[in-house]
Structure 1
Amino acid sequence: MHKDQLLTRRRALLAGAVAAGTAGTAGVLTRGAGERPARPAGPVAGAPARPALAPSAYRLQPLTGYGPPRAAPGRTPVRRTPLLRVSGRGRTMVLTFDDGPDPRYTPDILDTLARYEVRAMFFVCGGMAAENKDLLARMADEGHVVGNHTWSHPLLTDLTRGRIRTEMERTCDVIEDAYGERPEWFRAPYGAWNRAAFQLGAELGMEPLAWTVDTLDWTTPGTRTIVDRVEEGAAPGVVVLSHDAGGDRSQSVQALRSYLPQLLDSGYHVTVPRRQYV
């Protein structure tokens, strides 16, 4: 299938997926698919420069207690829409990477995150994770969050409930084995969610997380384009979608090296969410 056909299909899937709704939580909010995040105000003549990021300890601090409260102790609520953005103190953003880990690109992404002392989320496919457990172990050592992106990246809306469970459970098992704990977050491939995915994810103790800013890096649009999409979409609470596998991700690697220091210099707190258990 040609790239433009893939792009058309992906956009159709996103349009057909659940677009909006209320999260009904304190700390994680949803946004309708048709809304754009507010861009940070541009520089104004005579205005002071935007503040630099606080010390590295602040960069590394996970946003504890800002995830959605549990419906009851030990029980994950069943949602009807995915969570699309986060909220926290100040200019907070979350970077997420899908489809890996891939030994050709994931180590370079981890190196860049380590250089700037930033944590991110990796939604891994079980088949890739099983072949690259050392990379999941490194993610655990460096404080990144690993989420479930199914075993083989299928279109969940085409699968039976039993197949969806198998895709999720197998991935949970390999993540636990390599990362050290079971995932608390999941993301549907292509952003195509259905009722079974929400229900099964909740049964497995996972919250559904989508995104606010899609870099479309999987189309290899050019490093500068990826950087521009992140910088133009940057705003408090956004979740950025990129990829570290599934094709040639050299542009994604190069783009991260460019936009991450710029986000930090602009005062953004780039970190990972932690769910609140009540």
Structure 2
Amino acid sequence: MLTRRRALLAGAAAVGAAGTTAGLLLSHTTDATPASPSAPVAGPPARSALGSSAYRLSPVAGDVPPRATPGRTPVRHVPIMRMSGTGRHMLLTFDDGPDPAYTTHVLDTLAEYDVRATFFVCGGMASRSQDLLARMADEGHVVGNHSWSHPQLNLLKRSRIRDEMERTSDVIEKAYGDRPQWFRAPYGAWNRNVFQLGAEMGMEPLAWTVDSLDWTDPGTRTIVDRVENGAAPGVVVLSHDAGGDRSQTVTALRRYLPKLLDSGYHLTVPRRRLS
């Protein structure tokens, strides 16, 4: 899976996302044209004058416009990507776990600094480490759905996508205590079915703004630089707590987290509006 991840994610490029949530609002950009539902993740990573905050996924987006029904999650056509509003708030997110070898250390560091984060877990991993999901609940973290086996969902039939998402939500509910309200597609491979099924299951699609690219094992210093250089109000940072040797990620978190806090950033979690 790691080899496939590297082949797919190496082609990520910058685009925007859409939508608002509650508590903390999440905004969208309008400079991207959605790809067709079957299109691959394409294009080399791009840097702009914004620095590391330009490391962004290129979501495979369908052509379904956002629509909302009272009491239901809206169906979007691009994922939510960043927060908006006042204050120096950021989201730290971790994908692919939980892995006891690394997630435990991530949780220990977050607890040391009294910081909350969002964990997008894979059901297959979560089923083997339900105690870590229980700890996340106890310590105030948000747990999101990252599919069961980390496939490229836009290549699957609708029934298989549903199975990947539902099985994972079931495990999260059992171990964490609540069904997830957030979903992140593996490899950023979004399409019409992914958005529609996620909305049917009560989940909003959350992407990211700053990619630490920690899965490439670039070195701790490089990970720290990418997060610190990309830090800005509203950004969503992507890291990984599983899927390979994540010791660099753990060490980098210990270095950049106190610096972000000293700089006045509030590391928080997404909230949904009660309606």
- Residue 19 of structure 2 aligns with an amino acid whose one-letter code is A
**1:98-128 C-alpha deviation (Å, 9 max, x unpaired):** 0000000001000000000000000000000
2:124 pairs, out of 116, 127, 135, with 127
Q: Which residue of 2 aligns with 1:215?
A: 212
| d(CA) in 2 for partners of 1:137, 1:110 | 12
Q: 1:2 to 1:71 in 2, by over 3 A?
A: closer
Q: Which residue of 2 aligns with 1:43?
A: none
| d(CA) in 2 for partners of 1:132, 1:181 | 16
Q: 1:151 to 1:37 in 2, by over 3 A?
A: farther
| d(CA) in 2 for partners of 1:81, 1:121 | 20
Q: Which residue of 1 aligns with 2:28?
A: 30
| d(CA) in 1 for partners of 2:255, 2:20 | 36
2:242 pairs, out of 225, 241, 245, with 245
SS in 2 for 1:131: coil
Q: How many residues align?
A: 246
Shift of 1:85: 0.5
Q: Which has the larger radius of gyration?
A: 1
| d(CA) in 2 for partners of 1:130, 1:112 | 23
Q: TM-score, normalised by structure 1?
A: 0.82
Q: How does 1:143-162 map to 2 (within 5 A)?
A: 143-162=140-159
Q: Which ranges in structure 2 are unaligned for 5 or more consecutive residues?
A: 33-45, 52-66
Q: Is the 8 A contact 2:224 2:253 kept in 1?
A: yes
SS in 2 for 1:251: helix
Q: Which residue of 2 aligns with 1:67?
A: none
- Residue 10 of structure 1 aligns with an amino acid whose one-letter code is L
| d(CA) in 1 for partners of 2:183, 2:21 | 18
In the alignment, structure 1 residue 180 sits paired with structure 2 residue 177: yes
Q: Which residue of 2 aligns with 1:141?
A: 138
In the alignment, structure 1 residue 111 sits paired with structure 2 residue 140: no
| d(CA) in 2 for partners of 1:37, 1:29 | 20
Q: Which residue of 1 aligns with 2:88?
A: 91
Shift of 1:90: 0.7
SS in 2 for 1:147: strand
Shift of 1:25: 6.3
| d(CA) in 1 for partners of 2:2, 2:101 | 24
SS in 1 for 2:94: strand
Q: 1:182 to 1:24 in 2, by over 3 A?
A: closer
Q: Is the 8 A contact 2:2 2:244 kept in 1?
A: no
Q: TM-score, normalised by structure 2?
A: 0.83
Shift of 1:24: 6.0
Q: Which has the higher contact order (CA 8 A, sep 6+)?
A: 1
Shift of 1:8: 5.0
Q: Which ranges in structure 1 are unaligned for 5 or more consecutive residues?
A: 40-69
Shift of 1:22: 4.1
- Residue 92 of structure 2 aligns with an amino acid whose one-letter code is L
RMSD across aligned positions (CA) = 2.5
In the alignment, structure 1 residue 271 sits paired with structure 2 residue 268: yes
| d(CA) in 1 for partners of 2:188, 2:88 | 25
Shift of 1:135: 0.1
- Residue 97 of structure 1 aligns with an amino acid whose one-letter code is F
| d(CA) in 2 for partners of 1:6, 1:22 | 25
